[in-house]
């Protein structure tokens, strides 16, 4: 009988929660156990009585009925919900039972009322039968799924985290980069909901402090800021408990939003589902379910089939969610059968085993959601493959263009609105070919020649596919699980350090009875003083005529006592039993501690923990500080456990020496100082080894050779990181491969399935071990490798891979996709690759770029220019940057430029620009020349290129031309007249107030620039014709269908308050010349008196040909019957004689004159 006290507000909390003792606390579960166990025992007793009754003909039918009822179970959750059974008795039920008890009182006399001093006698059988009929459930009650540790729960008020507004200064609102989010904050996806809520609340408190902080502390880190007000370190402990990382406060608002968004993440979808539907799927059924669903994923390959399957899974999840109530009632029944009863018809149910019950609802839903996510990822992957992923333009549109770096590709995160890249069949990383093709380099400046606003989108680098998920053809011999564990994991550590008391020292003056057993098991007893033990043993050996050089004695702990040595140190606790042994059977145990060496001797059957305790006691070693304890490792870095000397001798590198080295290290008890390596073989057997922090994989290799249950063990092992898919270096420490928050899985493979690969770049050479089945592109997707090669700042698109140390076999993209086996020699020797820089040279008059391979970046631009083949040096004079179009000095080194694409330009394709800086805020009085920027650009450069090259602020600095307008940054330089080949600008700090937009009605192109209110219409007309490269004679300005023909009127006269004006450029000409030049055709307005000379010069300007080349060109009229070359003195009126009709568009072709 158990007695339970009534629960009141004064009841201690520990009376309710689960404790370590079965008879204390956990009051609710203990009461339930008593009631339910009594209930189930009664059913069991009833079942036994009926089954053991010999009168089967009397109880036969009843026996079948009772057996059928008692074979069923009902969940306690369902009982509580239905409010039935003995465990749900209410006060009213108990009151009724008391009244019924009084009603069944039996009096021995015929008196109605019970007499005083007479015994109470109830009709117990009647009362019992009533309780059984009313409250006994005719099936067993199952409460196993609610047995767990119960803790005190304080209901938390959930706060709305989505609409909170913290008025923080912009200094705290910087955005984390995609790489920072992926590398440092992706762990929030795996964090439990409670920690997310608590963490978010802590960040809210810090946000309030930052809001009231007078000083700007955005450059401080979180932990440092907390120390300024958290003097008792309670807040700091909460930060650590909820796993909030240290970060710079300038990112505070972004990180707080990450916590707020993560609270509603995927893993919390089932927080309101009943506990009865959370039962895990049995392991055999789980394996079968995973295999069946994986087969479904593999079987669908077309985009339509994948989308159909996704919809089917979604429909099933929705149907199951809508019927959770019925699944809870049928928790013990098969899920597929229950779905059939509920008329849920779905093809996915065909892959769900009948053994999976309704109680497995949540685990099944998680499997289905994972399956759906995998299919969605594959959908995105297929669509990305079918879409155009790379469109590189030679002319960059970005002012703030950065070098295309390797680190931008490694572990690149996906956009928030897109699913992550699928791990199924990823595309390998593509290195460029030796002769790459590119888009037409003239395309952009041709399309921008009219300075239109709608420019092509700037080209972006193609994201590198995630190759870390790539699978390899490797046979895993076993699986290693590696994790960091505390010192207390070691059994020997606990055994040694649990002995808090030092052994009591023996009184050396006291006489003790010593027993010495010889080789023939004959024992001799002697009474000796302890202090004379060594002397008496020497006398004993002389008396028995024993050779001290061959024989010695060991105590009962199997430790050798060197009594022949006068300086022999007796142990503090002297043993009284000794045995004579041969000295050649002893092993030397060599302790290495604090640069000192201590030797002990022991027989092979001795326990290592005994001699370790002897070592600690003899040397009187005490911890150097609180929390620092001794750890003992063998020469392989493995922690010594409860082993014998014979066990340790099997791990010796040189067993013939019979010397067992033990390395003694001091470690902190409060840190995870040990690397735990768990071996799991194909037979599902486990072996656990604990290694010190600096132990490497070579030590693990030696440890594994001891085991004989590994299938087909090779002579040497290699270790493959399952997550990173790289072969670990033998000298790499075990701890460096372990993630702090979760174990790391390593596959053990044969060393014969790997090969050595060497990569060389410039003077750097790195050798790694890799699977022979690895693709070369995967090996290059390793940031550590690239850093060692000093390639971290080089784009992969700027490099090529060359096979061998001396030959020039350049590997193509298809070659790089091949496994290493394709390049192994017959001797299976190492493979060597060299990485060379690929320089690409573009020309404005050619769409085919030329390429140049360089072994090093330490070369000058003059060297590159001289190395270009098939280019006449007297025609092309300069090399320009492909990104900024600036002419590069020949003395400049390639290593200083951070780019590998250049423009080869002619003399007439360049121009000088001069930018005069303002003299305001200057400390020194500089003359105009010193206060100006003088540079050379290609004529096709835009003003934005000048900004980028000189790092001008595009939002605060403006280039003023001709002292009256600021052109758009998209304006190309060839549009400006060049006096003495120089285009002059003045740099101003404030833009002109009026924004002017002019549209060319002929081709709907627009230009924009800024000017002042004082500018007149005539000047606006000139600027428009200048930027559109049009002849102003044939165009006029209009506003809202109103022609503006008064050239002297100013913008101030039109509207003195205007901020912006939109105008149209309307053509007036009725005759046009259609001029074909190569693959391009333009139309020029003209009149009857327009001469051929004028037409040729305007055409040369529009086709961006130097006017100095005018004499070598001629105009050919494409008449109805034949082509006719025309003298440049002819007019349009005279040319009409060649045409039978007078067309409004006269066809011409501009050609070079024949020599």
Q: Is the pLDDT of residue 1011 over 80?
A: yes
Q: Is the pLDDT of residue 398 over 50?
A: no
* pLDDT (mean) for 58-70: 73
Strand partners, 660: 589
Parallel/antiparallel/unpaired status of strands 596-603 and 586-593: antiparallel
Give the pLDDT band (50/70/90) at residue 607. Answer: confident
pLDDT for the residue numbered 149:
63
Distance CA 1073, CA 1148 (A): 7
Distance CA 225, CA 210 (A): 10
Domain 909-1067, CATH among 3.40.1000.10, 3.10.20.90, 3.40.50.1470, 1.10.540.10: 3.10.20.90
pLDDT for the residue numbered 921:
46
Q: Which run of H or E residues covers position 1073?
A: strand 1071-1077
Q: Is the pLDDT of residue 268 over 50?
A: no
DSSP per residue, 36-87: HHHHHHHHHHHHHHHHH-S-HHHHHHHHHHHHHHHT-EEEHHHHHHHT-SGG
604 closest CA partner among 585, 577, 581 = 585
Phi first, then psi: give them for residue 1084, nearest 5 degrees: -120, 135
DSSP per residue, 397-436: --TT-----GGGTTTPPPPTTSPPPPSSSPPPP-PPPSS-
* pLDDT (mean) for 773-792: 79
Burial 369-407 (b: 16+ CB within 10 A, else e): eebbbbbbbbbebbebeeeeeeeebbbbbebeeeebbbe
Q: Which residues contact 500 (CB under 8 A, 6 or more apart)?
A: none
Q: Is the pLDDT of residue 656 over 50?
A: yes
pLDDT for the residue numbered 22:
58
Please provide the average confidence, as pLDDT, over all residues in the chain: 78
Distance CA 995, CA 1060 (A): 5
User: What is the pTM assigned to this prediction?
Assistant: 0.48
pLDDT for the residue numbered 1061:
93
Question: Is the pLDDT higher at 1032 or at 681?
Answer: 1032
Give the angle subtended at the CA of 826 by the CAs of 821 and 828, to the nearest 5°. 60
Unique residue bearing structure tokens 């307005």: 1085
Distance CA 201, CA 678 (A): 39
Phi first, then psi: give them for residue 110, nearest 5 degrees: -85, 5
Q: For 434, what's the count of Cα atoms within 13 Å in the CB-facing half-sphere?
A: 12
Q: Is the pLDDT of residue 359 over 90?
A: no
Do residues 270 and 192 touch, judged by C-beta distance below 8 A? no
pLDDT for the residue numbered 904:
92
Q: Is 629 exposed, middle or buried (0-12, 13-18, 19+ CB in 10 A)?
A: middle
Q: Is the pLDDT of residue 724 over 50?
A: yes
Give the pLDDT band (50/70/90) at residue 293. Answer: confident
Distance CA 961, CA 539 (A): 115
Unique residue bearing structure tokens 């009084």: 102
Share above pLDDT 70 across residues of the chain, in percent, rounded to a whole number: 80
Helix (H, G, I), strand (E, B) or coil at 298: helix
Distance CA 858, CA 660 (A): 54
* pLDDT (mean) for 1059-1078: 90
Do residues 689 and 700 touch, judged by C-beta distance below 8 A? yes
- Give 733-765 pLDDT, tens digit per residue: 888 888 765 678 888 888 888 888 888 888 888
Question: Is the pLDDT higher at 408 or at 382?
Answer: 382
Unique residue bearing structure tokens 């707020």: 260
Do residues 412 and 463 touch, judged by C-beta distance below 8 A? yes
Phi first, then psi: give them for residue 190, nearest 5 degrees: -100, 0
Question: Is the pLDDT higher at 364 or at 705?
Answer: 364
Domain ranges of the chain: 13-146, 170-268, 275-385, 909-1067, 1071-1152
Question: Is the pLDDT higher at 79 or at 402?
Answer: 79
Distance CA 701, CA 746 (A): 13
pLDDT for the residue numbered 387:
53
Parallel/antiparallel/unpaired status of strands 1006-1011 and 958-961: unpaired
Q: Is the pLDDT of residue 877 over 80?
A: yes
Helix axis angle for 361-386 and 283-299, nearest 10°, is 20
Length of the chain: 1155
- Please check whether the two domains, 909-1067 and 1071-1152, share a CATH topology: yes
Strand partners, 982: 912, 979
pLDDT for the residue numbered 397:
40
Distance CA 422, CA 384 (A): 11
pLDDT for the residue numbered 440:
38
* pLDDT (mean) for 911-929: 68
pLDDT for the residue numbered 269:
55
Give the pLDDT band (50/70/90) at residue 642. Answer: confident
pLDDT for the residue numbered 158:
43
Q: What is the CA radius of gyration of the chain?
A: 45
Unique residue bearing structure tokens 């067992």: 660
Longest dimension (CA), the chain: 153
* pLDDT (mean) for 467-489: 68
Q: Is the pLDDT of residue 65 over 70?
A: yes
Do residues 632 and 606 touch, judged by C-beta distance below 8 A? no
Distance CA 110, CA 589 (A): 95
Query: Residues 188, 191, 197, 203: what is their CA dihedral angle, to the nearest 10 degrees?
Result: -40
- Give 954-987 pLDDT, tens digit per residue: 888 999 999 999 999 999 998 888 656 689 999 9
Give the pLDDT band (50/70/90) at residue 903. Answer: very high
**What are the start-end ranges of the H helices in 461-607?**
491-497, 533-543
Give the pLDDT band (50/70/90) at residue 931. Answer: confident
Of 170-184, 569-583, 1034-1048, the range with the highest mean pLDDT is 1034-1048
Question: Is the pLDDT higher at 888 or at 856?
Answer: 888
Distance CA 430, CA 881 (A): 25
pLDDT for the residue numbered 968:
93
* pLDDT (mean) for 182-190: 76
pLDDT for the residue numbered 801:
83
Helix (H, G, I), strand (E, B) or coil at 996: strand
Give the pLDDT band (50/70/90) at residue 428. Answer: very low
DSSP state of 174: P
Q: Cα(first)–Cα(last) distance of the chain, in Å?
A: 124
Share above pLDDT 90 across residues of the chain, in percent, rounded to a whole number: 11
Answer yes or no: CATH 3.90.1150.10 is held by domain 1071-1152: no
DSSP state of 520: T
pLDDT for the residue numbered 113:
66
């Amino acid at each position: 009988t158990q007695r339970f006290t009534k629960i009141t507000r004064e009841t201690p909390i520990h009376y309710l929660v689960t404790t370590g003792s079965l008879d204390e606390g956990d009051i609710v579960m203990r009461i339930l156990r008593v009631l339910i166990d009594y209930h189930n025992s009664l059913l069991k007793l009833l079942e036994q009585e009926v089954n053991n009754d010999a009168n089967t003909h009397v109880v036969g039918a009843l026996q079948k009925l009772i057996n059928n009822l008692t074979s069923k179970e009902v969940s306690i959750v369902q009982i509580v919900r239905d409010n039935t059974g003995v465990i749900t008795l209410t006060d009213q039920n108990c009151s009724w039972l008391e009244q019924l008890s009084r009603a069944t009182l039996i009096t021995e006399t015929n008196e109605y009322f019970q007499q005083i001093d007479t015994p109470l006698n109830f009709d117990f059988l009647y009362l019992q039968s009533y309780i059984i009929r009313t409250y006994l459930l005719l099936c067993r009650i199952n409460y196993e799924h609610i047995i767990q540790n119960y803790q005190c729960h304080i209901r938390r008020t959930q706060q709305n985290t989505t609409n909170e507004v913290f008025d923080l200064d912009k200094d705290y609102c910087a955005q984390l980069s995609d790489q920072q989010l992926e590398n440092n904050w992706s762990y929030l996806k795996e964090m439990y909901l409670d920690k997310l809520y608590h963490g978010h609340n802590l960040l809210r408190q810090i946000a309030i402090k930052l809001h009231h902080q007078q000083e700007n502390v955005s450059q401080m880190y979180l932990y440092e800021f907390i120390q300024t007000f958290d003097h008792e370190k309670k807040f700091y402990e909460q930060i650590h408990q909820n796993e909030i990382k240290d970060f710079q406060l300038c990112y505070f608002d972004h990180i707080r939003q990450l916590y707020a968004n993560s609270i509603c993440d995927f893993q919390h979808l089932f927080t309101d589902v009943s506990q009865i539907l959370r039962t895990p799927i049995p392991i055999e059924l789980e394996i079968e379910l995973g295999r069946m669903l994986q087969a479904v994923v593999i079987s669908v390959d077309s985009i339509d089939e994948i989308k159909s399957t996704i919809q089917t899974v979604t429909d099933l999840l929705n149907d199951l969610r809508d019927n959770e109530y019925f699944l809870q009632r049928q928790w013990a029944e098969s899920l597929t059968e229950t779905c059939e009863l509920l008329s849920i018809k779905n093809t996915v149910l065909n892959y769900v085993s009948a053994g999976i019950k309704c109680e497995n609802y949540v685990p099944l839903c998680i499997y289905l959601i994972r399956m759906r996510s995998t299919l969605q990822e594959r959908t995105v992957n297929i669509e990305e493959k079918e879409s155009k992923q790379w469109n590189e333009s030679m002319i960059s549109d970005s002012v703030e263009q950065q070098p295309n770096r390797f680190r931008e590709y490694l572990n690149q995160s996906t956009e928030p609105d897109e699913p992550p890249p699928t791990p199924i069949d990823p595309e390998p990383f593509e290195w460029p070919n030796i002769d790459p093709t590119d888009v037409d380099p003239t395309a952009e400046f041709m399309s921008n020649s009219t300075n239109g606003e709608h420019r092509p989108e700037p080209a972006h680098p193609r994201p590198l596919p995630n190759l870390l998920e790539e699978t390899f053809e490797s046979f895993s011999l076993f699986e290693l699980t590696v994790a960091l564990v505390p010192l207390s994991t070691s059994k020997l550590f606990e055994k040694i350090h649990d002995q808090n008391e030092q052994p009591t020292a023996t009184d050396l003056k006291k006489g003790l009875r010593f027993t010495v057993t010889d080789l023939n098991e004959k024992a001799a007893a002697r009474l000796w003083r302890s202090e004379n033990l060594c002397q008496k043993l020497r006398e004993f050996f002389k008396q028995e005529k024993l050779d001290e050089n061959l024989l010695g004695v060991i105590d009962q702990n199997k430790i050798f006592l060197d009594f022949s040595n006068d300086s022999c140190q007796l142990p503090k606790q002297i043993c009284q039993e000794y045995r004579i042994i041969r000295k050649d059977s002893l092993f030397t145990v060599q302790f290495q501690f604090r640069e000192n060496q201590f030797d002990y001797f022991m027989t092979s059957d001795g326990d290592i923990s005994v001699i370790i305790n002897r070592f600690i006691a003899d040397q009187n070693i005490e911890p150097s500080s609180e929390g620092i304890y001794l750890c003992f490792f063998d020469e392989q870095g493995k922690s010594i456990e409860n082993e014998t000397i014979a066990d340790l001798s099997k791990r010796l590198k040189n067993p013939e020496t019979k010397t067992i080295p033990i390395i003694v290290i001091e470690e902190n008890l409060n840190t995870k100082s040990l690397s735990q390596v768990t071996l799991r073989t194909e037979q599902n057997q486990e072996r656990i080894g604990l290694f010190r922090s600096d132990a490497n994989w070579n030590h693990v290799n030696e440890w594994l050779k001891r085991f004989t249950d590994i299938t087909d063990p090779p002579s040497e092992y290699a270790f493959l990181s399952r997550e990173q898919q790289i072969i670990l270096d033998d000298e790499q420490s075990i701890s460096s491969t372990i993630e702090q928050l979760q174990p790391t899985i390593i596959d053990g493979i044969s060393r014969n399935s790997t090969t050595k690969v060497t990569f060389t770049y410039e003077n750097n050479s790195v050798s790694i071990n890799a699977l022979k089945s690895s693709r070369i592109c995967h090996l290059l997707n390793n940031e550590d490798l690239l850093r060692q090669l000093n390639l971290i700042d080089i784009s992969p698109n700027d490099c090529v891979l060359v096979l061998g140390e001396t030959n020039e076999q350049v590997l193509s993209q298809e070659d790089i996709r091949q496994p290493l086996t394709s390049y192994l020699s017959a001797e299976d020797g190492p493979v060597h690759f060299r990485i060379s820089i690929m320089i690409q040279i573009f020309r404005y008059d050619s769409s085919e770029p030329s390429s140049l391979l360089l072994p090093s970046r330490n070369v000058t631009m003059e060297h590159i220019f001289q190395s270009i083949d098939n280019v006449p040096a007297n025609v092309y004079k300069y090399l320009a940057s492909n990104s900024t179009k600036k002419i590069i000095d020949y003395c400049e080194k390639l290593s200083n430029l951070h780019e590998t694409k250049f423009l080869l330009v002619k003399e007439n394709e360049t121009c000088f620009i001069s930018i005069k800086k303002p003299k305001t805020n200057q400390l020194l009085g500089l003359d105009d020349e010193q206060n100006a920027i003088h540079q050379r650009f290609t004529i096709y450069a835009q003003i934005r290129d000048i900004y980028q090259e000189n790092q001008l602020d595009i939002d605060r600095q403006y280039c003023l031309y001709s002292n009256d307008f600021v052109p758009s940054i998209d304006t190309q330089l060839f549009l400006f007249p060049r006096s003495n080949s120089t285009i002059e600008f003045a740099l101003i700090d404030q833009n002109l107030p009026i924004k002017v937009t002019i549209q060319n009605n002929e081709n709907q192109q627009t230009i924009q620039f800024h000017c002042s209110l004082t500018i007149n219409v005539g000047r606006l007309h000139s600027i428009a014709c200048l930027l559109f490269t049009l002849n102003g004679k044939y165009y006029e300005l209009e506003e809202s269908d109103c022609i503006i023909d008064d050239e002297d009127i100013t913008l101030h006269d039109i509207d003195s308050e205007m901020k912006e004006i939109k105008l149209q450029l309307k053509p007036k000409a009725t005759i046009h010349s259609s001029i074909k030049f190569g693959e391009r055709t333009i139309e020029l307005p003209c009149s009857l008196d327009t001469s051929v000379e004028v037409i040729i010069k305007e055409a040369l300007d529009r086709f961006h040909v130097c006017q100095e080349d005018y004499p070598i060109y001629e105009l050919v009229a494409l008449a109805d019957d034949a082509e006719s070359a025309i003298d440049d003195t002819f007019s349009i009126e005279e040319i009409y004689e060649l045409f039978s009709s007078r067309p409004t568009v006269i066809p011409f072709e501009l050609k070079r004159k024949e020599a």
